[in-house]
Amino acid sequence: MATEQPDVDGGGAPVGRRVVLGLLGLGALGIVGGARLQDALSTALAPIETRDPTGLVGLLPLGNTFRYYSVTGGVDEQDAGDYRLAVSGLVAQPGRHTLADLQAMPQTELVRDFQCVTGWRVPDVPWAGVRLGHLLDLASPAPAATAVRLTSFDGTYTESLTLEQARRPDVLVALRMLDAPVTHDHGGPVRLYVAPMYGYKSLKWLSEIELTDEVVPGYWEDRGYSVDGWVGSSNGRRDDPTG
Amino acid sequence: MTRPADAPPAGPELPRFGRSARWVHGLVGALMVVCILTAAVLYNSSLQILVGHRRAVELVHVWCGFGLPVPLLAGLLSPGYRAELRRLNRFTPADWRWLRSRTRRDGRIPVGKFNAGQKLNGSLSTGAIGVLLMTGVVMLSTDLAPLGWRTGATLVHDWAALAVGLLVLGHLTFALRDPVALRSLRSGTVPRRWAELEHPAWAAEVERAQDGGDA
């Protein structure tokens, strides 16, 4: 079929416009109905993703595995020998704990989900460490103290909890996660784990616990996140509670 | 020493891309590359560990994303650019044959200013930019959009981004294979011989117009 077409670009069907409008329509459908599809995909692929030796499945945009977030450039590693955790502020007994000190304290083990406020959730993560409440008791907070301010040795990140939240039995100064010492990329050697709250409350690379007379909003809280980051009832989300 | 071959005489050049088309292409391309690189850092754990600075990377990504449609819309002010869009929009029967053909490059199917693959790339890119923008806005509307929508928007945004990444990779592969086409997006012109080989129907059209103008 060799038809004469003097003006190849002049006529024809407006396929380009149809493609653009079709994609926009699909996108809108996906916004409204994609949540269900996401759940199905993530549940189906999570077991493969956690056991995938090639890491290729991790490149696909789905799945319930840890994603590593950091708000600074590279964080210098602190080795176990040099590590110190300061307890300061409105306390009678300021403290400076080594990793060995922390390891010698009573250890609490928890198996809880880790829920990120951006949507991903890692099921059944084993955690172990010292209850934050135990460290507070050792420091004897002054009567004026109502909150703790937590600082990361990345030099930028901070978090906060009320004293009541900090004393919950499921708030840990974690030394182990996933049945091994907390790795540097996960915030080791010592990080926080606030089981009932979204991941941004579980500060990584913990270096200081300061008792304050009011809650000082943390890094992401200055940028719009809820100060009381309960899983399922904050940040406009309704995930299953983890605490 | 063998006498080096003379550089081929510079043949006549045909005007291919006007200034507005070149600017729109360059700006959209630059914004797209920044969006893709920042997306890779936000998404890939190894890159995130390497680069960090999540907040800053996110801000660059979001604002370059919002910037993407600006040159596309500003281009509409230019009649020359609108003419290019009309050509990209229309699919002739020859375009469908070109897409189906295994020997599409042998020149037997008349190709106009854009071949069917270029037309498809144009509409897929435009549609994908629209989808990414739409889903991106929903993802950012933490106070307005219901959670289910934001989850859906995240899913669509992630997969659309993966598809766009592959599309851009393919686009760059074809571009790097053809230095003349690559150069034409800076200079705006192509040698007549190249045009007669790659886009014969368009070359004939331009020559007819030039002859008509000369007469």
Q: Give the residue-averaged pLDDT of A97-125.
A: 93
Which one, of B126, B138, B120, B131, lies nearest residue B160 by Cα?
B131
Q: Which residues pair with A173 in a beta bridge?
A: A130, A192
Q: Are B94 and A8 in contact (CB under 8 A)?
A: yes
DSSP at B145: S
Cα Dmax for chain B: 76
Q: List the CATH code of the domain at A84-223.
A: 3.90.420.10
Residues from chain A contacting residue B93 (CB–CB below 8 Å): 3, 12
User: Which of B92, B113, B167 is the best mutation test for A, with the most CBs of A within 10 A?
Assistant: B92
% of chain A beyond a pLDDT of 90: 66
Q: Which of A1, A7, A23, A154 to mutate to test the interface with B (most CBs of B within 10 A)?
A: A23
Q: Do A35 and B48 touch (CB under 8 A)?
A: no
Token pair, residue A110, equals: 């928890």
Top-confidence range, A9-13, A206-210, B209-213: A206-210
Distance from CA of B176 to the nearest CA of A (A): 25
Q: Which of B45, B112, B123 is the closest to A19 by Cβ?
A: B123
- Per domain, the residue ranges of chain A are 18-59, 84-223
Does A75 sit within 8 Å of B52, measured CB to CB? yes
Domain segments of chain B: what residues? 17-90+109-209
Which chain A residues are closer than 8 Å to B73 by Cβ? none
Given a cut of 90, whether residue A106 has pLDDT beyond it is yes
φ and ψ of A22, to 5 deg: -60, -45
Summarised one tens digit per residue, pLDDT across range B27-43 is 999 999 999 999 999 98
Higher pLDDT, A131 or A35: A131
Q: Model ipTM?
A: 0.89
The 3-class secondary structure across chain A, one letter per residue, is CCCCCCCCCCCCECHHHHHHHHHHHHHHHHHHHHHHHHHHHHHHHHHHHHHCCCCCHHHCCCCCCCCCCCCCCCCCCCCCCCCEEEEEECECCCEEEEHHHHHHCCCEEEEEEEECCCCCEEEEEEEEEEEHHHHHHHHCECCCCCEEEEEECCCCCEEEEEHHHHCCCCEEEEEEECCEECCCCCCCCCEEEECCECHHHCCCCEEEEEEECCCCCCCCHHHCCCCCCECCCCCCCCCCCCC
Q: So what's the pLDDT on residue B109?
A: 87
Contacts of B127 (CB under 8 A, 6+ apart): A19, A20, A21, A22, A23, A24
Q: Which residue of A has its CA nearest to B158?
A: A61
Give the contacts of A55 (CB within 8 A, at least 6 positions apart): none
Say yes or no for a CB contact (<8 Å) between A119 and B151.
yes
Each residue's pLDDT tens digit, B121-149? 999 999 999 999 999 999 988 778 888 88
A vs B, Cβ pairs < 8 A, gives: 165
What's the distance, CA B72 to chain centroid? 11
Name chain B contacts of A22, Cβ cutoff 8 Å. Answer: 127
Pick from A22-36, A42-56, A161-175: least confident: A42-56
Distance from CA of B91 to the nearest CA of A (A): 5
- Would you place residue A6 in the very low, low, confident or very high pLDDT band (cuts 50, 70, 90)? very low
Dump pLDDT digits (tens) for B110-123. 899 999 999 999 99
Q: How far apart are CA B160 and CA B128, in angstroms?
A: 7
Summarize pLDDT for A121-133 with one digit per residue, the tens. 888 899 999 999 9
Question: Who's near B213: CB < 8 A, 6+ residues apart?
Answer: none
Q: Do B130 and A24 touch (CB under 8 A)?
A: yes
B97, with CB counted inside 10 A (0-12, 13-18, 19+), is middle
B151, B158, B208, best to mutate vs chain A, most A CBs in 10 Å = B151
- At A164, the pLDDT band (50, 70, 90 cuts) reads very high
pLDDT of A8 > 70? The answer is no
Give the number of residues written for chain A.
243
Instruction: Identify which of A5, A24, A70 has the shortest CB distance to residue B127.
Output: A24
pLDDT for A50 beyond 50: yes
CATH number of B17-90+109-209: 1.20.950.20
Tokens of B83: 């003419």
Helix (H, G, I), strand (E, B) or coil at B107: coil
Q: What does the pLDDT read at residue B5?
A: 63
Q: Which of A35-44, A223-232, B76-85 has the lowest mean pLDDT?
A: A35-44
Pairwise pLDDT comparison (A137 vs A76), residue with the higher score: A137
Six-digit token pair at A37?
A: 């599809």
Interchain pair B53, A38: CB under 8 A:
no
Query: Could you please report the per-residue DSSP string of B31-71?
Result: HHHHHHHHHHHHH-HHHHHHH--HHHHHHHHHHHHHHTHHH
Q: Provide the sign of the torsion angle of the four alpha carbons B90, B93, B94, B95, taken in this order.
A: positive
pLDDT in tens, chain B (215 residues): 676 666 555 678 999 999 999 999 999 999 999 999 999 999 887 888 888 898 999 999 999 999 999 999 999 999 999 999 999 999 999 999 999 988 887 778 889 999 999 999 999 999 999 999 999 999 988 778 888 888 889 889 989 999 999 999 999 999 999 999 999 999 999 999 999 999 999 999 998 888 876 54
Stretch A156-172: mean pLDDT, rounded?
A: 96
CA geometry: angle A129, B49, A182, nearest 5 deg: 15
Whole-number pLDDT of residue A99 = 96
**Where does the pLDDT of residue A58 fall: very low under 50, low under 70, confident under 90, or very high at 90 and above?**
low
The minimum CA-CA distance between A165 and chain B, rounded to whole Å, is: 25
In this structure, the number of other CB atoms found within 10 A of the CB of residue B135 comes to 27
- Judging contacts by C-beta atoms under 8 Å, the chain B residues touching residue A68 are 45, 48-49
Residues contacting B212, CB < 8 A, separation 6+: none
Dmax (CA) of chain A: 94
Mean pLDDT of chain A: 88
Residues of B in contact with A199 (CB under 8 A): none
Nearest to A72 among B53, B156, B201 (CB): B53
Give the pLDDT confidence score for residue A63 in this predicted structure.
57
Check B52 against A72: CB less than 8 A apart: yes
- Distance, in Å, from the CA atom of A243 to the CA atom of A197, rounded to the nearest integer, reads 7
C-alpha B199/C-alpha B105 separation (Å) is 10
Residue of A nearest to B109 (CA): A2
Residue B146, preceding bond cis, omega within 30 degrees? no
C-alpha distances out from residue A162 to A135, A140, A142, B107, Å: 15, 16, 14, 74
Pick from A31, A41, A58: CB nearest B153: A31
